[in-house]
Amino acid sequence: MTGHDVDRVVVRNGGCVPLASLPPVPWSVFADAMLGDVAAGARVAAYFGTPVPAPFAPDAMLDLFAVLARDDLGELRLLRTRVGERFPSLASRCPQVQMFEREIGEQYGVVAEGHPWFKPVRGHRSWRDGADAWGRNPDVPLVPGEIDYYRVEGDEVHEVAVGPVHAGIIEPGHFRFQCHGETVLHLEIALGYQHRGVERMMTGSDADGTRARQLVETVAGDTTIGHATAHALVREALAGVAAPARAAALRSVALELERLANHVGDIGGLATDVGFLPTSAFCGRIRGDYLNVTAELCGNRFGRGMVRPGGVGFDAEPAVRERILKRMAAIDRDTRGAIRLFFGTPSVLARLEGTGVLTPATARELGLVGVAARACGLAMDTRAQHPPRGEAIGVDQIAVAPDGDVHARGRVRQREIESSLARVKETLAGLPAGTIHTPLPAAAAGSLAVALVEGWRGEIVHVAVTDAGGDIARYKIVDPSFHNWSGLAMALRGEQISDFPLINKSFNLSYCGFDL
């Protein structure tokens, strides 16, 4: 181990490497490689631990893996190191790992030394019996959201607590505002109320893969296709086969339909929050139309059962395809009309512009992904930069808006709606012939596979590590919300507390996708 350039392990999206070719490097090499690559423009796409099989030395009990994405090169660099009960935190030098380090600390009861904000992430017990990074009493039940909140002192400062039970029908999360009058000085977000332990349930032997398939589809219900596709790509990478071209095209159609339904729903949500009635009412209905098209394809409005490891579960026969294209033509017009009205109304623009601004520098530091990152002018889109075999969109098609405010996040969605509409029609019209499913051979033993999918919120990362028998030993899921909740907290700084619902809606992050 002379320099870290020598043992550079690089894969593409959907890549798989034997663990033997990815030996643990000393911490200093690992840290230098991570900091160096991030300084050179890489993002930390995933960073997680796996316990080293017994017998292990107390100073080497946890393997840490990092996946660094180089969007400009389309490369994923893999890093691995071995640490003990404590490991040095890199968060103050590389803020985008802060949540990953807290997650590792909570999952394995290890301490990220020198972490400036070392708090539990989801409020569950550590996976290592008896170990707790915060030394909490094992007999006292853990409650999500019971953490030491950051407090601003002062006679005129007041604290507002919102949630976990909210006024609308939404997921649970706790928001703690430090306010001076109407101005928010700081927002802290506590989640974990929906922690189900998905990552751990994904491990072990799962002969026909049905359980795993159902689990990933419920990581975040609004991103069923996104997570199912990432999972399928990981399984296919481990098995060393690729889905047939027709299946890949149908996956892409389903993914874009999911994007359409959610983006349209989000613009409707923005309209509701600013009290703009027409778009609010229309988009709510149109979102349902897109869900119905997905149901036309696979019988389920959210796309359950559509994407399967090895291909897809449902083919689009000519009759189905005709029906979908006919429906799409009608919805297309309604969608564009409702959105044009929204962005063409001055009182709406007055409300959106300049609200909840994030600078590109902050977005890059926090490692934001997806719509939130593109709205800060960062051109990143997995579909263009890390395409799974042969279905890339052009880099010039990445929808970017420069301003970083609510308006920019709305505009990015508008452009993506337009390009997704075109993409669904094109893909359906030129659907390749052939089968829709290919059987998967046994998964490679002792390997690591990684897959990225541009879900509608942003980049979804799934990583699987297999044991000597080919069973999943560790399954890591990174929902885009995992990165982006920090962005929401930062976007609130100095804003009016009355604008929180609007800014929150412009991010529209997943609670359950974060909580896993």
Partner 1 sequence: MIVTTLLRLVLLLAFAPLMLGVIARTKAAFAGRQGAPVLQPYWDLGRLWRKGIVVSRTTTWIFWAGPVVAVTVPVVASLLLPMGALAAPLSFEGDVILFVYLFALARFFTAAAALDTGSSFEGMGAAREVTFACLAEPTLLLGFVVLARLADGLTLNALLGAHLAAAWGSSGASLALIVVCLMVVLLVENARIPFDDPNTHLELTMIHEVMVLDHSGPLLGLIQYGAALKLMVLGAVIMRMVLPVDTGNLWLDAGIFLGGQFVLAVVIGTIESVMARLRLARVPQILVGTTLVAVFAVVLVLR
The residue ranges that bind partner 1 (CB under 8 A) are 158-162, 167-168, 182, 271, 273-278, 280-282, 345, 347-348, 350-351, 355, 496-502
| CB closer to partner 1 out of 190 and 202 | 190
Q: In the complex, what is the shortest distance from the CB of residue 135 to partner 1, in angstroms, rounded to a whole number?
A: 32
Beta-carbon count within 10 A of 36 CB: 13
Two tokens, residue 213: 């398939």
How far are the Cα atoms of 18, 25, 52, 327 from residue 21, in angstroms, in the given order? 6, 12, 16, 50
Which contacts (CB < 8 Å, 24+ apart) does range 135-144 have?
144/174, 144/190, 144/191, 144/192, 144/193, 144/195
Q: In the complex with partner 1, which residue's Cβ is closer, 156 or 208? A: 156
List helix spans (H) across 143-276. Answer: 198-201, 210-217, 224-239, 245-273
Reduced to 3 states, what is the DSSP secondary structure of residue 319? helix
- The residue (of 484 and 504) whose beta carbon lies closer to partner 1 is 504
In the complex, what is the shortest distance from the CB of residue 277 to partner 1, in angstroms, rounded to a whole number? 5
- Closer Cβ to partner 1, 46 or 492, answer by number: 492
Residue linked to tokens 């707790």: 132
How far apart are the C-alpha atoms of 297 and 102, rounded to whole Å? 41
Q: Which two tokens stand for residue 503?
A: 């800014």
**How near is the Cβ of 123 to partner 1 at its closest, in Å?**
24
Smallest gap from residue 285 Cβ to partner 1 (A): 8
Residues composing the chain: 516
E-assigned strands of 405-489? 447-454, 459-466, 472-478
Taking the complex as a whole, how short is the minimal distance between the CB of residue 183 and partner 1, in angstroms? 10
Nearest-approach distance from CB 511 to partner 1, in angstroms:
17
CB of 152 to partner 1, least distance (A): 14
**What minimum distance in Å lies between the beta carbon of 356 and partner 1?**
12
Q: Which is nearer to partner 1, 58 or 346 (CB)?
A: 346
* 84: its two tokens: 């003990």
The CA-CA-CA angle for residues 478, 391, 308, to 5°, reads 55
The pair of three-digit structure tokens given for residue 239, joined into one six-digit string: 């098995």
CA dihedral for 115, 117, 121, 126, sign (positive or negative): positive
* CA–CA distance, 13 with 389 (Å, rounded to integer): 8
Token pair for residue 90?
A: 């890199």
For residues 409 and 273, the answer to whether their CB atoms sit within 8 Å is no
Burial of 379 (0-12, 13-18, 19+ CB in 10 A): middle
Residue among 304 and 505 whose Cβ is closer to partner 1:
505
At closest approach, how far in Å is the CB of 166 from partner 1? 8
- Shortest CB 491 distance to partner 1, Å: 15
In angstroms, the Cα distances linking 426 to 140, 250, 262, 381, 432 are 57, 11, 20, 20, 12
- Contacting residues for 460 by C-beta, under 8 A, at least 6 apart: 223, 226, 227, 230, 452, 453, 454, 477, 478, 479, 480
Asked if residue 138 lies in contact with residue 132, where contact means CB atoms within 8 angstroms, the answer is: yes
DSSP 154: -
Minimum CB distance to partner 1, residue 340 (Å): 15
Distance CA 81, CA 66 (A): 9
The one-letter amino acid at 394: G
Q: Given the complex with partner 1, which of 2 and 347 has the nearer CB atom?
A: 347
User: Whose Cβ is closer to partner 1: residue 292's or residue 496's?
Assistant: 496
Q: Please say which residue, 291 or 406, places its beta carbon nearer to partner 1.
A: 406
Nearest-approach distance from CB 85 to partner 1, in angstroms = 41
- Sheet containing 9-11: which strands, arranged edge to edge? 9-11, 75-83, 62-70, 43-51
Q: Please, which residue, 1 or 350, has the CB nearer to partner 1?
A: 350
Quick one: 6 or 165, whose CB is closer to partner 1?
165
Give kind and range of the element (H or E) at residue 409.
helix 406-429
The answer to whether the beta carbons of residues 495 and 183 sit under 8 Å apart is yes
Nearest approach, Cβ of residue 498 and partner 1 (Å): 4
**C-beta of 209 vs 354, nearer to partner 1:** 354
Task: Kindly tell me which of 178 and 420 has the beta carbon lying closer to partner 1.
Answer: 178
